[in-house]
Amino acid sequence: MSPLQRAFSRSGLLLVLAIGHLSAGLFILNLQTGFEQISETGVRRLTMVLFAAFQSITLHQVQLKFIVGGLLLLVLIRQAWGWPTRWFTDAMGALLCLRCTLQFLLLNLLLLSPMRAGGLLLGQLVLFLPVITIAFGWLYARLDSVARQRGRTHIAFDDGRQRIGNFDYFHMAGMTLLQFEPSGATATSRLMKSLFLLHGIVMLDLVALTLSRAIGLASGSG
């Protein structure tokens, strides 16, 4: 493996997480324009609270964006040289999971409410798919890698491979978009079985909400 390939391999996880955060940031664009269209007062207030929480962990100021961008570049350089930066990667992964959770709750509240901006919400759903895939992929990789360091496993891959890379976990999470449950691997612990079940429930929920919104748009009622 060449030095360039090694550098990219070391920085690959952080770059994938950065893409997830970028997709999460695009999620909020023009989303607030539909809040006033929610008829139920309680649902509208809860949606505004969740949206405020989501905005509180989103970079809005240009100065902060440059600072975080510079810090990300510095960490990437450190990773390319093989220096430890696990703390930064974990922070980005945990933050992405939090943003993913808030997005999922917002989508459920918005898609279940009669709104004229149905097409806008379907677009937000498309932006959410890479976020949830990357978030679950990072969770799988982080939890299983820690277990393997201790001589145990949370996930057993069907082909019996011994050398596992981050790509394998993200590929498994990505396949959930098509099959509604992690594919190509088996959960070997109660924790991972619960996480697999949660992942499948979330994907089925998104499919059901998408179909309901599409039917509403086709009938002209939402």
Q: Has residue 8 got a pLDDT over 90?
A: no
Three-class secondary structure of residue 96 per DSSP = helix
The candidate with the shortest Cα–Cα distance to 125, out of 19, 207, 216, 36, is: 207
Count of domains in the chain?
1
The candidate with the shortest Cα–Cα distance to 31, out of 94, 133, 102, is: 102
Model pLDDT, residue 132: 92
Q: Has residue 143 got a pLDDT over 60?
A: yes
CB 151 within 8 A of CB 123: no
Per-residue pLDDT band for 135 (boundaries 50, 70, 90) equals very high
Model pLDDT, residue 121: 67
As a whole number, the mean pLDDT across the chain is: 77
Per-residue pLDDT band for 140 (boundaries 50, 70, 90) equals very high
| Residues above pLDDT 70, as percent of the chain | 69
What residues make up the domain containing 195? 3-219
Q: Which of 10-24, 84-98, 139-153 has the highest mean pLDDT?
A: 139-153
Strand partners, 109: none
Model pLDDT, residue 1: 45
Lowest mean pLDDT among 97-111, 154-168, 182-196: 154-168
pTM of the model: 0.82
